[in-house]
Amino acid sequence: MGSLSSEPRFRTIQKFQPNYTPHTVTQYESQRTGMRVVVVDQQSTKLHGFFVLATEIHDDSGAPHTLEHLLFMGSKSYKYKGFLDKLATRAYSNTNAWTATDHTAYTLDTAGWDGFAQILPVYLEHVILPTLTDAACLTEVHHIDGDGNDAGVVYSEMQGVQNTASELMELCTKRLLYPEGVGFRYETGGMMEQLRVLTADRIRDFHREMYQPKNMCVALFGEINHEQLLHILDEFESSILPDIPSPDKPFSRPWIESKQAPRLEKSIVQKVEFPEEDESFGQIEIRFLGPNCADNIAASALNVVLLYLAGSSAALLDNVLVETEQVASGVYYQIDSRPKIEIGFSLTSVETGRLTAVEKRFFEVLNDAMSKDLDMGFMQDCIDRQVRIYKFSAESSLTSFADYIIADYLFGKRDGSTLQELATLEAYTETLSSWTQEQWKDFIKTYISDAPHISILGVPSRRLSEKLKADEAARIEKQKEHLGADGLKRKFDELETAKAENDRAIPSEVLGKFKVPSTESIHFPHTSSARAGSALKIGKPQNRYQEIVDSDGKNLPLFVDFEHITSNFARVNLIISTETLPLELRPLLSIYFEAFFALPIKRGSETISFEQVVVELERDTVGYIIESAANLGNVECLRITFQVEIERYQTAIKWIKELLWSSVFDVERLKAVNSRLLADVPDDKRDGSNMLTAVHLMVHLAPKSIGRARSILVKALYLRRIKQLLKTEPQKVVQQFENLRKSLCRYENFRVLVIADLEKLKEPASSWTSFLDGLDTSKPLTPLSGRLERLSEAGKHPGKLAYVVPMATIDSSFANAIARGPTSHSDPRVPALMVAMAYFNAVEGPLWVAVRGTGLAYGTNMSYDIDSGFIHLDVYRSPDAYKAFDASRTIVKGHLDGSIQFNPLMLEGAISSIVVSFANEQSTVASAAGASFVRSIMENLPDDYMEAMLKKVREIKVEDVRESLRSLVFDMFTPGKADILVTCATGLKDVSMLSSRHGMTANDCRR
């Protein structure tokens, strides 16, 4: 860590512990440069670092976004592309970055402090002193290739989004909300026409101006060694001082000392066309300028108001516009923290002919509500809910304070007083709870219902779609003409020279100098289990939590597993086996899931409306969901999950019982849910990657699989049938749902997982007694039965099929090669397979370089899936999936036959990344508890499975990896062993070669 002799030149601004979490927040400032540091200490396996620059620019050049990419191309001391990511892989880390309108953030997440401390100075040097070479700007930002087409990583990215509905509408709102000279007006991602003329010098100037330590906030979350941290930062500052502008040079703080956005004078409604073949539905965006985000009370009030207006299907706008009048498929809101918070509402899937009327209706509904009494009971519910959500996310997410810290850095006070507001939730529990109806109405009128606003009506246009294509083709044609043969040759040479410069190999001693850190600083959380009822048959844990459970409910027959964690919340999961559900009822599950929390309920002689059900659910819980039990270890089971405050454990159980047995399959509700699902189908079928998954599910799974039954292709068929049947014979549909309920909701199908603090949880076992009232508990448990038992013949024996699905809605291709792999975690082939795949999948690893690096695809990835016993090769978004597949095959073949050598440093990196995958699985205590349940109950693995597996993984040698490639991985490229699925743009001719190369004829499964 260098010398620890001199005292770091950082002063502590403040240190406090919020009264609703066990975390400590410490804020520092460098006395030399003004760099600011916020550390949130909390127990965890992972550490997260955010490096945030306040980046303000007054043009659409995209300079901020280009830097986000260029920083990873090398730094003063490490002038190699990919060095940072290769080091990150070895140091149990992942890197990422994003560009917002008002800031650019770089992230580093690491398992364990040792790895984090190792990479931190290198990471910081890349941020402050990147190389920013001409060559890197050429390949990463923009260039013209030898064929005369515009390309470049950032350019292609913006090409993909610039003409989408959301981007076109967003840009229009920016232009109308903010005048020239206010940074929020501009597209910091870069507009294509400006990226084409952006110079490397402009990018370097912008970097020098904005990327100074005094304009940077380092926010860290996890188990941090403060003393070491400050020494690393201090040393880092010493190392860069000669290369940065003098810290004493005047610098005006972005956003705060800049021209401010004026209030809006009047409302504007404007139409914006977006390219779309199907002209039936458009969308609406509405924007307001709200209070200052640094005004804690006002910002908190806004959160509450948005929940009140649009936070659930029982809230005003959703209830009227979506549920009752059905003029939009959803009302969503978002806020952007700013000196005047930007408040946005989106109305989705609005009939094109009704856009104007629906926008008016939005304000009518608001104004009508303001002329009547507010529902102050519901308002208080919203306040309480907001507080609950804060507490829950502070406890369950490592980075829950990140957004607040970033906004505070950008817009808050430098004396720390605005950050200090994190300390309590009194703004909600005290101040806002005492607000009168008049105060709330004033607030809503001031900032929303009576406020000037910008409304954008997004109109789909086939004509625009055609025009954009024609204009672009003409521009390229002209460009080629202008360049001529000589010009094109020159462009080709320039690009090749730049690529060669960028791709200089990293000398192994440079990387090897950084030893792989020990895993000692990675602290995996330990949870303890206890069991009740038939769960005891698996074995009885010997610990004090088991005693607590034993002393409560001795005669409970229900299968209940408890995982003890320190928490103020209980997570209650009911897992339901679908083994005995009749085949013909399975396609109903999509509607059943969607309707589960949104149906009326019979309570005694009363019927509670679905709105009231939603209001009560929101009041009683932090969250609730029904889905497949995939993340509890069985993708073919259902799971109902409630997250509640620990005192509401019994309430959660009561809810599960009511929702299972007392919901009313009301025909009108079923119609509404069915048509909403149906409206989403075209969207789902537009996406090449989704469609690929859907085809895989159809081909490789049997009709018994609920994954298949809920897939897009089955939905597309059944939802239409049910829509028809709801019109003609509604009672028949209702009867089918009753049958579904009868067949699912049986004692023998149930297993329960409770993750909670057993020291505090009242009546952990006996609370379930009433749940079982009236149930026949005499039958033995139904087996859970996994996906392995629900494969189709093709799934059991792949190697005979190839499907090519041409799609008019995409302009690239996606492919999936599928072969058989291990079906058990204890299969001796697993450790070598894990290492082989981690090696090939690494960022800047062999597949990345061969496929992504050459522009053959956005990405390609190998994976294995023990539950279904498949191994996959995925090609994501490729101009030619065949070439990408072939390049993947060549690179694997080369390693297999010895013509390409394994890189020992990257092999170490592969093992590090397996350690990280285990750490990710248990990044919080709650997820560790879930993982423990999956291992011990669902997968029947020994307690020390993870340690034993890591030990085996570390013992894997190159020869083992090669053997895994030979005997297993290469099956994905072998005709007769793998099935090939492709989705591609219509007319993308070469992909069909993929199947013929594979010795198969393609099946066209367009539908």
Q: Of 369-408, which residues contact Zn ion (CB under 5 A)?
A: none
Residue 157, interface with Zn ion (CB under 5 A)?
A: yes
* CB 506, CB 86: distance < 8 Å: yes
The distance of closest approach from Cβ of residue 596 to Zn ion in the complex, given in angstroms and rounded to an integer, is: 38
Q: Closer to Zn ion at the Cβ: 52 or 309?
A: 52
Give, in order, the Cα–Cα distances in Å from 237 to each of 32, 128, 213, 777, 791: 8, 10, 8, 68, 59
Fill in the amino acid letter for 384: D
Secondary structure (3-state) at 270: strand
Chain position carrying tokens 């899936």: 865
3-state secondary structure 349-377: EEEHHHHHHHHHHHHHHHHHHHHCCCCHH
Residue 333 φ/ψ, nearest 5 degrees: -125, 160
Residue 713 CB contacts under 8 Å (≥ 6 apart), including other chains: 694, 695, 697, 698, 1007
Neighbours of 421 (CB within 10 A): 20
The distance of closest approach from Cβ of residue 207 to Zn ion in the complex, given in angstroms and rounded to an integer, is: 16
Q: CA 665 to CA 673: how far, in whole Å?
A: 11
Q: Closer to Zn ion at the Cβ: 190 or 213?
A: 190
The distance of closest approach from Cβ of residue 852 to Zn ion in the complex, given in angstroms and rounded to an integer, is: 14
Sheet holding 454-461, edge to edge: 268-275, 454-461, 281-289, 342-351, 330-336
The distance of closest approach from Cβ of residue 103 to Zn ion in the complex, given in angstroms and rounded to an integer, is: 15
Question: How many chain residues touch Zn ion (CB under 5 A)?
Answer: 1
Q: Of 24-53, which residues contact Zn ion (CB under 5 A)?
A: none
Q: Closer to Zn ion at the Cβ: 157 or 865?
A: 157
Which of 469, 508, 576 lies closest to 83, judged by CA? 508
Chain position carrying tokens 């102050």: 376
Q: Closer to Zn ion at the Cβ: 502 or 923?
A: 502
Q: Closer to Zn ion at the Cβ: 64 or 148?
A: 64
The distance of closest approach from Cβ of residue 71 to Zn ion in the complex, given in angstroms and rounded to an integer, is: 11
Q: CA 139 to CA 344: how far, in whole Å?
A: 36
Q: Closer to Zn ion at the Cβ: 186 or 737?
A: 186
The distance of closest approach from Cβ of residue 154 to Zn ion in the complex, given in angstroms and rounded to an integer, is: 6
| C-alpha dihedral, 79 to 82 to 85 to 90, nearest 10° | -90
Residue 167, interface with Zn ion (CB under 5 A)?
A: no
Q: Closer to Zn ion at the Cβ: 157 or 384?
A: 157
Q: Which stretch binds Zn ion (CB under 5 A): 156-164, 642-650, 702-710, 728-736?
A: 156-164
The distance of closest approach from Cβ of residue 195 to Zn ion in the complex, given in angstroms and rounded to an integer, is: 11
Q: Which stretch binds Zn ion (CB under 5 A): 33-41, 154-162, 266-274, 440-448?
A: 154-162
Cross-strand partners of 982 = 804, 815
Q: Angle CA(159)–CA(161)–CA(166) in degrees, nearest 5?
A: 150
Residue 908, interface with Zn ion (CB under 5 A)?
A: no
Q: CA 74 to CA 485: how far, in whole Å?
A: 34
Q: Closer to Zn ion at the Cβ: 157 or 867?
A: 157
The distance of closest approach from Cβ of residue 67 to Zn ion in the complex, given in angstroms and rounded to an integer, is: 10
The distance of closest approach from Cβ of residue 186 to Zn ion in the complex, given in angstroms and rounded to an integer, is: 16
The distance of closest approach from Cβ of residue 66 to Zn ion in the complex, given in angstroms and rounded to an integer, is: 9
Residue 237 CB contacts under 8 Å (≥ 6 apart), including other chains: 9, 30, 32, 33, 35, 213
Q: Closer to Zn ion at the Cβ: 502 or 992?
A: 502
Q: CA 634 to CA 638: how far, in whole Å?
A: 8
The distance of closest approach from Cβ of residue 96 to Zn ion in the complex, given in angstroms and rounded to an integer, is: 11
Cα atoms found within 13 Å of the Cα of residue 642, Cβ hemisphere only: 25
Q: Closer to Zn ion at the Cβ: 157 or 209?
A: 157
Q: Which residue is nearest to Zn ion (CB)?
A: 157
The distance of closest approach from Cβ of residue 98 to Zn ion in the complex, given in angstroms and rounded to an integer, is: 8
Q: Of 876-905, which residues contact Zn ion (CB under 5 A)?
A: none
Q: CA 586 to CA 455: how far, in whole Å?
A: 43
Q: Closer to Zn ion at the Cβ: 157 or 323?
A: 157
Q: CA 379 to CA 356: how far, in whole Å?
A: 30
3-state secondary structure 72-127: HHCECCCCCCCHHHHHHHHCCEEEEEEECCCEEEEEEEEECHHHHHHHHHHHHHHH
Q: Closer to Zn ion at the Cβ: 31 or 156?
A: 156
| C-alpha dihedral, 544 to 546 to 547 to 552, nearest 10° | 140
Q: Residues 973, 974, 980, 986: is their CA dihedral positive or negative?
A: positive
Q: CA 662 to CA 654: how far, in whole Å?
A: 11
The distance of closest approach from Cβ of residue 189 to Zn ion in the complex, given in angstroms and rounded to an integer, is: 7
Q: Of 562-621, which residues contact Zn ion (CB under 5 A)?
A: none
Q: Which stretch binds Zn ion (CB under 5 A): 153-161, 263-271, 655-663, 911-919?
A: 153-161
Number of H helices, E strands in the chain: 36, 28
Secondary structure (3-state) at 636: strand
The distance of closest approach from Cβ of residue 847 to Zn ion in the complex, given in angstroms and rounded to an integer, is: 21
Q: Closer to Zn ion at the Cβ: 73 or 931?
A: 73
Q: Closer to Zn ion at the Cβ: 171 or 830?
A: 171
Q: Of 698-737, which residues contact Zn ion (CB under 5 A)?
A: none
Secondary structure (3-state) at 605: coil
- What DSSP element (H or E) covers 718? helix 712-728
* CB 953, CB 914: distance < 8 Å: yes
The distance of closest approach from Cβ of residue 97 to Zn ion in the complex, given in angstroms and rounded to an integer, is: 8
Q: Closer to Zn ion at the Cβ: 157 or 960?
A: 157
Q: Which stretch binds Zn ion (CB under 5 A): 157-165, 289-297, 832-840, 843-851?
A: 157-165
- What is the per-residue binding string for Zn ion in 408-427, x denoting contact by CB under 5 A? --------------------
Q: Closer to Zn ion at the Cβ: 157 or 494?
A: 157
The distance of closest approach from Cβ of residue 184 to Zn ion in the complex, given in angstroms and rounded to an integer, is: 20
- What is the per-residue binding string for Zn ion in 109-148, x denoting contact by CB under 5 A? ----------------------------------------
The distance of closest approach from Cβ of residue 158 to Zn ion in the complex, given in angstroms and rounded to an integer, is: 8
Q: CA 563 to CA 568: how far, in whole Å?
A: 14
Q: Closer to Zn ion at the Cβ: 189 or 821?
A: 189
Residue 804 φ/ψ, nearest 5 degrees: -120, 120
Residues that bind Zn ion (CB under 5 A): 157
